[in-house]
Structure 1
Amino acid sequence: MSITFPRKFAIGGVPVTNIKEGLKSLSRTSDPGSFVGLRSVFPTLIHGSHALEIAGLLGLLDDERSDLTPTGRAVAHSRSVVKTELTKARAVLDQLLERFEAINADPDRLISINRVYLYGSVMRGDPLVGDIDLEIEASRGPAYINDFQGYLRDCRSFVRRFAPNYVPPVYMAESDKAMDHLVFGQRRAPILKGAVINGRNLSTIPAPCQLIYTIQNGIDRDAPILTTHPDYDPTIETSHEIPHLASIDVPQFGIPAPVDARFLAKFQHSGRVVAHDFASPTSNLLAWLLRMHERQSSTLKVHVSSETLDPAFARGCGLADDLSPKGTIVLTAETQRSKLRSFMKIERRVDMIDGMLTVDLKVCDLATLQRRRTNEAHADCLAVVAATIHVADRFHAVALNKAGSNYPIEATVTTARSVPDEIGPLIQQFGSKISGSLDS
């Protein structure tokens, strides 16, 4: 039993197929940066950041965002399918059960169908189902009980009727191929992807099930629903890494929080913002803006903790212990040639004010160390980075808002008195350009 989603199903505006690819990348690397930076899936880091936040809200990631939870592993291995009406699924199941009766009626049969357990959505009677979850217990036919080599020989002969050039790749492969063909026919119906022959998985999970067929009593569509498989033992530890889940609960999204600002540095501990991480400047507006406003070779960083701040920056921007990935952060810029060093301290909030969902960015401080005036090139670079984070917060809030209560929404940029007046409009100008590139 695995999780299935309807085709093109989305959560919070993110297609489940995209979330799955991001989860698989993170599971391989233990790096959330590989999730948000998956260029084949997410057009920009902003899209990837939003998807990562959705994965966190669904409980698919651990607290450090470096590994998947059991539910996350189940979603990573889920399938997107066309949902089928329950009546049609039951018709397919009835045909399969009648096929089993015909197999067992043959005294010279190659295999016997001993027991069939039904579980999952069809057993529950869901109006729409992804597939039919079955555990089919089969064995050699009565003539082969004491003749294993004869059984393999006749399995190979049977397989070669529909696959003349078949050569078993491994020992006993011919028996599996023959059994699959006898049970499902030459082409298994897509809705039967959840049916397993001799998988023995159902006995390892605490899932309700229904014994709908036995070789002794035939078909029993009204068999009682059992709490678990008769062989299930909760004291036995299994090695199943991927839990067998039928569905996940999609929560009601309330007031969203800002995104984790580390997405801009692809979650690297140094916090370094690198223009080429965003693709070519000719195809990515953020990279183009950074290149245009750098003017000199600069190092840009995002700091969500005082631990990564240089002591000079920590003294310059005041108390830095209140920094957090989704709250107050510090952006820094350094020019190696002239030893210029600048910082911008920003505070981010998402609040409900008078029935309006407000996404606010406040520039608390902006300064160039060892200078009376802020370096213009650094200020422009830091404004671009701040605008990108603000756009990501708004993008995330708008998507969750559409999936939830759909309140009116407003994005605002405010500045402290010590910050030059032109910084607020500059961030809004950059933000408009970046938002426009996301919509195009």
Structure 2
Amino acid sequence: MSITFPRKFAIGGVPVTNIKEGLKSLCRTSDPGSFVGLRSVFPTLIHGSHALEIASLLGLLDDERSELTSTGRAVAHSRSVVKTELTKARAVLDQLLERFEAINGESDRLISINRVYLYGSVMRGDPLVGDIDLEIEASRGPAYANDLQGYLRDCLSFVRRFAPNYVPPVYMAESDKAMDHLVFGQRRAPILKGAVINVRNLSTIPAPCQLIYTIQNGIDRNAPILTTHPDYDPAIETSHEIPRLASIEVPNFGIPEPVDARFLSKFHRSGRVLAHDFGSPTSNLLAWLLPVHERQSSTLKVHVSSETLDPAFPKRGGLTDDLSPKGTIVLTAEAHRSELRSFMKLERTVNMIDGALTLDLKVCDLATLQRRRTDEAHTNSLAVVAAAIHVADRFHAVALNKAGDNYPIEATVTTASSVPDAIGPLIQQFGSKISGSLDS
């Protein structure tokens, strides 16, 4: 039993297939930067950041966002399928059970179908189901109980009726192939992909199930639903890394938070912001804006903790106090060929005001740490990065809002009295350009 989603299913505006690819990348690397920076899936880091936030809200990532939770692993290995009406699924199941009766009715049968357990969405009676989850217990037919070699010989002969050139790749492979063909026919129906033969996973997980067929008593569609498989023992540890989950609950996302600002640096420890991480300058406006406004060769960084700030930056106006990935952050720019250093302190909040969501980016401080230099030495490049963060917060909030309460949204940029008045409009100007490129 695995999680299945309808084709083109999206959560918070993100296709589940995109979330799956991001999870698989993070699983390989233990690096959330590989998730947000997956260019084959996400057009920009802003799209990737939103998807990462959705994954976190769904409980698919641990607190550090470096490992998948058990639910995250289940989603990473989920399938997107066309959902089938319950009545049609039950009709397919009925035909399969009748097939089992016919198999067991033959005295010289190659295999016996001993027990069949039903679990998952069909057992629960969900109106729409992805597939039929069955655990089928089968064995050699009575005539072969003490004749393994004769059984394998006849299995191979049976398989070669429909695959004349078949050669077993490993020992007893002909048995599995013959059993699969006898149980499901030459072509298994897609809705039966959740059915397994002699795998015995159900006895290792605490999943409800229903014994709907036995060789002794035949079909029992009204069998009681058991809390777990009779052989399940919670004290026994298993090696199954992928949980067998039938579904996940999509929560009401509520009022969104700002995104984790570390997406700008692809979660690199240094916080370094690189223009080429955003994509090709020919197709991505943000990647084009940064080099244009970096008039001096400089290093841009985003800081969500005072620990990453260079000691040369003073504790000016609480510069290193109360920094957090989703709250107050500091942007810095440092020229490579001089000691020119600039910083911009940003405070990000989301509030409900008069029935509307207000996303505010406040520039609390802006300064350049070198004599005979104005505070505007790195202003444009810092403003581009600030705009990208503000756009990401709005992009995330709008997507969640559409999937939830659909409140009016207002995005504002404000400045402290010590910051030049022109900074707010400059960030808004860059933000409009970046937003426009996301929508196009």
Please state which band the TM-score falls in when normalised by the shorter chain. Answer: over 0.9
Match of 1:236, SS state, is coil
Q: Which residue of 2 aligns with 1:291?
A: 291
Q: Which residue of 2 aligns with 1:195?
A: 195
Aligned equivalents of 2:319 and 2:295: distance in 1?
Answer: 30
Shift of 1:350: 0.7
Asked if structure 2 preserves the Cα contact closer than 8 Å seen for 1:19 and 1:55, the reply is yes
Asked if structure 1 preserves the Cα contact closer than 8 Å seen for 2:70 and 2:243, the reply is yes
Question: How is 1:254-333 mapped onto 2 (pairs within 5 angstroms)?
Answer: 254-316=254-316, 318-333=318-333
Question: How is 1:12-23 mapped onto 2 (pairs within 5 angstroms)?
Answer: 12-23=12-23
Aligned equivalents of 1:211 and 1:397: distance in 2?
Answer: 47
Q: Which residue of 2 aligns with 1:149?
A: 149
1:406 aligned to 2:399? Answer: no
Asked if structure 2 preserves the Cα contact closer than 8 Å seen for 1:367 and 1:373, the reply is no
Question: How is 1:155-170 mapped onto 2 (pairs within 5 angstroms)?
Answer: 155-170=155-170
Shift of 1:377: 4.8
Q: Which residue of 2 aligns with 1:75?
A: 75
1:57 aligned to 2:57? Answer: yes
Of all paired residues, the percent bearing the same amino acid is: 90
| 2:401 counterpart letter in structure 1 | N
Shift of 1:375: 4.9
Q: Which residue of 2 aligns with 1:126?
A: 126
Shift of 1:225: 1.0
After superposition, what is the alpha-carbon deviation per residue over 1:376-414, rounded to whole angstroms, capped at 9, x for unaligned? 451000000000000000000001111110000000000
Aligned equivalents of 2:432 and 2:168: distance in 1?
Answer: 62
Q: Which residue of 1 aligns with 2:206?
A: 206
After superposition, what is the alpha-carbon deviation per residue over 1:235-289, rounded to whole angstroms, capped at 9, x for unaligned? 1111111111111111101111000000000000000001111222111111100
Match of 1:384, SS state, is helix
Question: Which consecutive residues of structure 2, in runs of 5 or more, have no partner in the other structure?
Answer: none
Q: Which residue of 2 aligns with 1:41?
A: 41
Shift of 1:171: 1.2
Asked if structure 2 preserves the Cα contact closer than 8 Å seen for 1:4 and 1:246, the reply is yes
TM, length-normalised to structure 2? 0.98
Cα RMSD for the two superposed structures: 1.0
Q: Which 10-residue stretch deviates more, 247-256 or 375-384?
A: 375-384
Aligned equivalents of 1:341 and 1:273: distance in 2?
Answer: 15
Asked if structure 1 preserves the Cα contact closer than 8 Å seen for 2:300 and 2:332, the reply is yes
Q: Which residue of 2 aligns with 1:138?
A: 138
| 2:421 counterpart letter in structure 1 | D
Q: Which residue of 1 aligns with 2:115?
A: 115
Q: Which residue of 1 aligns with 2:219?
A: 219
After superposition, what is the alpha-carbon deviation per residue over 1:309-359, rounded to whole angstroms, capped at 9, x for unaligned? 001224346441210000000000011113211000000001101111001
Asked if structure 2 preserves the Cα contact closer than 8 Å seen for 1:304 and 1:324, the reply is yes
| 1:410 counterpart letter in structure 2 | E
TM, length-normalised to structure 1? 0.98
Match of 1:312, SS state, is coil
Q: Which residue of 1 aligns with 2:356?
A: 356
Shift of 1:373: 4.7
Aligned equivalents of 1:295 and 1:140: distance in 2?
Answer: 77
Aligned equivalents of 2:79 and 2:377: distance in 1?
Answer: 49
Aligned equivalents of 1:276 and 1:155: distance in 2?
Answer: 58
